[in-house]
Structure 1
Amino acid sequence: MNRKINESSLTDILPENLRSDPDIIAATKAIDLGFLELTDEVNNIMILPNVNNASNAVLDHLAYYFHVDFYDVDMNVETKRKLINESVYLHQIKGTPLAVETLIQTLFSEGEVVEWFDYGDTPYRFRVLTSNRSVTTDKAEEFIRALDSVKNRRSTLDKVVLLQVEQMDIYWAGFVHQGSKEEYR
């Protein structure tokens, strides 16, 4: 028999000898009333599952509560929700290239970290590459401000490279010329 927690009663789990005692029955009914009120309130305290339904003002408070260091109240609502949903995970991986890549995915939607050994620079330097057309200088500056809260202290950002990708039709052609040279005397 499967029941939801708000459909069960404490009297259901009492042993047979206690089910007939009027004091025990009265006590279990009183506990059941308080327990039902508590189960109704559980939905109000589930914070992270309800972030996608929260209002803009609530998101601002949640960002403070979850220590989203690079949060800005002027961001759009979807970015705010992404940052709050990822805040616990970002705090767990803080100081790693994965944290920087997660931040890139959140703010730019696409991009990657290229570390110093991939392009032959001095140690502890890195670049960020993105080809997202919507990335502007303002968005790159917002990313640089946010970067200090997730990267490790010794690493330094060289630059944010905005790659321009164009859709082009390329046509190519070729020909084969075959012949021989003959001499007659």
Structure 2
Amino acid sequence: MNKLKNLQLTQLLPASIAADTTVKNISLSVETILQKVAGQTAAVLLLPHLDELPEAIIDELAWQYHVDTYSADFAVEVKRQLIRQSIAWHHKKGTPAAVTDMLSTIYSSAQLEEFWEYGGEPYHFRVTVGEDRTDYAQIIDDAIRVVKLSKNARSWLDGIKFRRNITGTIYLGSAMSKNKKVELFAHTELATNSLYIGGVIMRNRRQQLPVAGDMGR
């Protein structure tokens, strides 16, 4: 099979005219032109070569393909992904799948939850993001803008929830203690022991004795 880049028309000429000089010259001229066109075809096939195109052309392609969620402030990798998926997104724009797909260009782990999955109000939804970077306010603003442009008019975004898995070692300790409670109450019973009482009877006697002077009289 002859390919356009190495096509040789002279080999395709029927025997009845192959020997004609004028036909040969025309065939050679056409071969040269077709081979030159084949060599430049790669420049026309833009989508297969998105990763090779400079950012200036990427910005122009975003306008050509009507990428609604496009922003010149996006990283060039995000721009390429938006353009690559723009045609498919236009077919399903306004659906949950479109919101998820478009948001995944910013947050690869983004998941959409309908209101009945988390107890929200009808026609509401929210987005859960896993381990993607969230330390730039611009990225969060871009994500909200992408959601608003890709959702349908009657649906409302409740918010973007970021889920983080934290790993680490938790040490637990315990101690045993024993308490003894002693309660003291006043004792009101009367004592029943015996009471011994003793007494002494004393007898006093008064006697007057004469002094010595009185005895010699």
Aligned amino acid, residue 99 of structure 1: A
Q: Does the 8 Å contact 2:109/2:132 carry over to 1?
A: no
Tell me the residue number matched to 1:158.
158
Q: Does 1:6 align with 2:1?
A: no
| CA displacement, residues 83-142 of structure 1 (integer Å, 9 cap, x when unaligned) | 122222222221111111112211012120001121233322111000234124432221
The verdict on how the C-alpha distance between 1:171 and 1:15 changes in structure 2, with shifts beyond 3 A counting, is farther
Aligned amino acid, residue 143 of structure 2: F
Distance 1:133 1:17 in 2: 70
Tell me the residue number matched to 2:177.
none
Q: Does the 8 Å contact 2:103/2:147 carry over to 1?
A: no
The verdict on how the C-alpha distance between 1:172 and 1:15 changes in structure 2, with shifts beyond 3 A counting, is farther
Q: Does the 8 Å contact 2:115/2:122 carry over to 1?
A: yes
Query: What runs of 5+ residues in structure 2 fail to find an aligned partner?
Result: 174-217
Q: CA RMSD in A?
A: 2.0
Tell me the residue number matched to 1:96.
95
Percent of counterpart pairs with the same letter? 30
Query: Which segments of structure 1 move beyond 6 Å, counting only runs of 4 or more?
Result: none
Query: What runs of 5+ residues in structure 1 fail to find an aligned partner?
Result: 174-185
Tell me the residue number matched to 1:86.
85
What secondary structure is seen at the aligned counterpart in 1 of 2:149? coil
Tell me the residue number matched to 1:167.
167
Q: Does the 8 Å contact 1:70/1:145 carry over to 2?
A: yes
Aligned amino acid, residue 145 of structure 1: R
Tell me the residue number matched to 2:71.
72
* TM-score normalized with structure 2 length: 0.72
Which structure has the larger Rg over C-alpha atoms? 2
Query: Per-residue deviation at 1:150?
Result: 1.5
Tell me the residue number matched to 1:179.
none
More off after superposition, 164-173 vs 142-151: 164-173
Aligned amino acid, residue 85 of structure 1: R
Q: Does 1:124 align with 2:99?
A: no
Q: Does the 8 Å contact 1:133/1:164 carry over to 2?
A: no
Q: Does the 8 Å contact 1:124/1:156 carry over to 2?
A: yes
Aligned amino acid, residue 161 of structure 1: K
Aligned amino acid, residue 148 of structure 1: K
Distance 2:5 2:72 in 1: 38
Q: Does the 8 Å contact 2:108/2:132 carry over to 1?
A: no
Count of aligned pairs between the two proteins: 172
What secondary structure is seen at the aligned counterpart in 1 of 2:71? coil
